């Protein structure tokens, strides 16, 4: 069985360090590092990406928290709820769809300010988001949250309901499906699939991003369906399951639309500046072939450079 962490935070004098927050920050750091390499391989500027990512992260955290509160309002506004706890993000409760929505809005605005391609940005960031999500899910293990029904399978998560010497309210000890782990594994496999199909089919122009949305949402639909924490219901389905199923349909539709557009336009955005192909390597300017290959950025198959948005 998978054991539970006996602690979820450490105290250094007056300072409390929550492991959930550390996992989220670590995921963001790894994603930013990898996204920067991918962005530079597209001919972009690393400093620009940092500015864009910073705005996206802040907006993403706000969006993730807002979506969580809206879909799970009882702990905050229900009987005996604590509205002030809306601010306690270190206790868990960041919904990925709200995070992606909030972050996407900020990234779009910043792409206009920095005068770079939003489609290229979305494709650059997409696989790094899955890695960030996988790392961030370790925070749920520390908090002993996000598990499925009881099970005696060999990989059952033995939830003790005790952390830092205190009992977790509303928690029942036992062995449960580790849905946080299922999502981690799905995300990591999804990254490999996303990079493979991006290279094999030369995806660009926003199609990498929508492939990410489709892959993630397909996994989230079945994983969320077996989670047991209280949430808004839409008929017999949990709200997150419904959203995931809707996003699978939207992702497939957008992917098809962008594929048709690529054929009609004779190409699609690959480079940071909106060009349909990457600039050749010059001293101190642009990516070389090795950098492009290792970044997962598809090469252009166009003979002449063209521009797009």
Please give the pLDDT value at position 272. Answer: 96
Total structural domains in the chain? 1
pLDDT of residue 297: 53
CB atoms within 10 A of CB 271: 25
What is the predicted pLDDT for the residue at 296? 52
Q: Which residues of the chain have pLDDT under 70?
A: 281-309
Chain segment 225-282, per-residue pLDDT in tens: 999 888 889 999 999 999 999 999 999 999 999 999 999 999 999 999 999 998 775 4
Classify residue 133: in a domain, yes or no: yes
300 found inside a domain? no
What is the residue range of 30's domain? 9-295
Token representation of residue 14 = 């007056």
Tokens of residue 44, six digits: 């972009």
**In the chain, pLDDT over 70 holds for what percent of residues?**
90
Q: Which two tokens stand for residue 238?
A: 């949990």
Alpha carbons 295 and 289: distance in angstroms, whole number: 10
Query: Does 303 reside within a domain?
Result: no
Domain assignment present for 280: yes
- The answer to whether position 169 is within a domain reads yes
What is the bridge-based pairing of β-strands 174-176 and 157-159? Answer: antiparallel
Q: Which helix (H) or strand (E) covers residue 10, if one does?
A: strand 9-12
| Any domain includes 93 | yes
- Is 152 a member of any domain? yes
Distance of CA 207 to the CA centre of its chain: 16
Residue 285 included in any domain? yes
Model-level pTM? 0.85
């Amino acid at each position: 069985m998978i054991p539970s962490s006996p602690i979820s935070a450490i105290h250094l004098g007056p300072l409390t360090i929550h492991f959930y927050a550390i996992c989220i920050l670590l995921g963001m750091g790894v994603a930013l590092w990898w996204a920067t390499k991918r962005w530079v391989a597209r001919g972009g500027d690393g400093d620009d990406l940092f500015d864009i990512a910073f705005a996206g992260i802040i907006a993403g955290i706000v969006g993730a928290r807002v979506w969580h509160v809206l879909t799970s309002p009882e702990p905050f506004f229900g009987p005996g709820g604590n509205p002030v706890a809306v601010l306690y993000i270190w206790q868990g409760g960041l919904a990925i769809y709200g995070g992606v929505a909030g972050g996407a809005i900020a990234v779009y605005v910043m792409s206009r300010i920095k005068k770079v391609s939003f489609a290229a940005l979305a494709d650059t960031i997409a696989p790094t988001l899955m890695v960030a999500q996988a790392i961030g899910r370790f925070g749920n293990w520390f908090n002993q949250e996000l598990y499925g029904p009881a099970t005696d399978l060999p990989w059952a998560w033995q939830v003790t309901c005790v952390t830092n010497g205190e009992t977790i309210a509303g928690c029942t000890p036992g062995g449960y499906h580790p849905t946080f782990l299922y999502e981690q594994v799905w995300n990591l496999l999804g990254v490999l699939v996303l990079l493979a199909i991006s290279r094999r089919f030369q995806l660009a122009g926003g199609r990498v991003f929508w492939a990410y949305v489709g892959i993630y949402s397909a996994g989230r639909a079945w994983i969320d369906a077996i989670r047991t924490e209280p949430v808004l219901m839409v008929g017999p389905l949990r709200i997150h399951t419904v959203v995931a199923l809707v996003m699978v349909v939207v992702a497939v539709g957008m992917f098809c639309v962008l594929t048709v557009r690529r054929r009609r336009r004779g190409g699609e955005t690959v480079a940071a500046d909106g060009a349909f192909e990457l600039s050749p390597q010059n001293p101190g300017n642009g990516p070389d072939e090795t950098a492009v290959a290792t970044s997962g950025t598809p090469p252009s198959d166009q003979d002449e450079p063209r521009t797009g948005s």
